Amino acid sequence: MRNFLSIITLTLSLSIISGCKEKPSMLRIYVRKSDNNLLDKGLYAKVLISSDANSTPPTSKFSDAKMTNDASFAEFNLDAFFATHRAAYSDTVRSGYFKVNVKLDDIEGDTSVRVTYRTTSVQTIYLKN
């Protein structure tokens, strides 16, 4: 009986510890046409993010580019950015500012976005005709 209780206690402890993972810092950019519809199947837009050096506080240099998926969004994991950004400024820095540019053939869209440490930030960009 004692061994059985020890095994149950160990199993519960391990499941609680494994459930305490830190969330990643993510940026998800949805791309829509000017009429608010998703991109047509088979069309993929290029999404470029670059840090905004003119932000207050300044954002460390960082850029990345991805193509949208079939659900018309691109997702960026910014854990590497926050590792260097927080080391350069302070561990108390919990956000970064980015310029986002989207291009699909000759149609473009852009915006600025604030990304928060250990959360998923979401922004929608509407392509201009």
Angle (CA) 93 97 101, round 5°: 155
In this predicted structure, what is the pLDDT of residue 13?
57
CA-to-CA distance for 45 and 127, rounded, in angstroms? 10
Comparing CA positions, the residue from 112, 127, 128, 126 lying closest to residue 27 is 112
Does 17 fall in a domain? Answer: no
pTM given for the model? 0.79
CA-to-CA distance for 32 and 43, rounded, in angstroms? 11
In this predicted structure, what is the pLDDT of residue 2?
61
Could you read off the pLDDT of 51-87 as tens digits, one per residue?
Answer: 998 888 778 889 999 999 999 999 999 999 988 877 7
Let me know: does 97 contact 59? Beta carbons within 8 Å: yes
Does 16 fall in a domain? Answer: no
Name the token pair of 57.
């506080």
Range(s) of the domain holding residue 113: 23-126
CATH of the domain at 98: 2.60.40.1120
Does 9 fall in a domain? Answer: no
Does 15 fall in a domain? Answer: no
Q: How many domains does one find in the chain?
A: 1
Q: Which residues of the chain have pLDDT under 70?
A: 1-20, 90-91
